[in-house]
């Protein structure tokens, strides 16, 4: 093994394969800028097919992946009333370059957490929404 390593090192130095000279990477001088065309939000990859069930005390989650440029804003409603991040609701809205994901998590659900939850994504070119029916049992 040592002999093989010594042979490889000798090859590198004797053939000039190794050089202290570092060449800068080539840069294309006339590169064209990429234009991103704005488009309205679109949703895909719905989790749970619109229905989420759970038992009292469990944690539940649901969400959607989306695309849209400029990046859409996100609002979440429960039975028509907007909800925000809190000790009960955790809303994660992540994304970049025209694609992202919204995940709504409800910790230690109770019977009153049952209802219709709507995720709405909006940008200047339009709006799209999806509604999940959450059913909590004992």
Q: How many angstroms separate the CA atoms of 67 and 100, rounded?
A: 6
Is there a domain that residue 3 lies in?
no
- Predicted confidence pLDDT, tens digits, the chain (138 residues): 566 655 565 555 555 554 444 444 555 566 667 778 899 999 987 665 688 999 999 999 999 999 999 999 999 999 999 999 999 999 999 988 889 999 999 999 999 999 999 999 999 999 999 999 999 999
Is there a domain that residue 83 lies in?
yes
Q: What is the pLDDT of residue 34?
A: 73
User: Which residue, among 57, 43, 59, 68, has the nearest Cα to 124 in the 3D structure?
Assistant: 68
- The answer to whether residues 83 and 132 touch, using CB atoms and an 8 Å cutoff, is no
Is there a domain that residue 9 lies in?
no
Q: What is the pLDDT of residue 7?
A: 55
Q: What is the pLDDT of residue 100?
A: 93
Q: Residue 44: give the domain boundaries.
A: 39-137
Is there a domain that residue 112 lies in?
yes
Is there a domain that residue 126 lies in?
yes
Q: What is the pLDDT of residue 31?
A: 62
Per DSSP bridges, beta strands 115-123 and 73-78 are antiparallel
What CATH number is associated with residue 67?
A: 2.60.40.10
Is there a domain that residue 15 lies in?
no
Q: Count of domains in the chain?
A: 1
């Amino acid at each position: 093994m040592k002999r093989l390593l010594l042979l490889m090192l000798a090859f590198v130095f004797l053939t000039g394969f190794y050089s202290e000279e570092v060449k800068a990477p080539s840069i294309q001088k006339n590169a064209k800028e990429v234009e991103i065309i704005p488009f309205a939000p679109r949703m895909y990859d719905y989790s749970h097919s619109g229905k989420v069930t759970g038992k009292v005390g469990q944690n539940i989650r649901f969400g959607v992946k989306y695309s849209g440029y400029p990046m859409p804003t996100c609002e979440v409603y429960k039975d028509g009333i907007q909800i925000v991040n809190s000790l009960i609701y955790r809303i994660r809205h992540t994304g970049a370059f025209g694609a992202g994901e919204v995940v709504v998590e409800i910790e230690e659900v109770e019977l009153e957490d049952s209802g219709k939850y709507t995720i709405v994504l909006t940008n200047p070119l339009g709006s799209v929404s999806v509604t999940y029916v959450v059913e909590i049992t004992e």
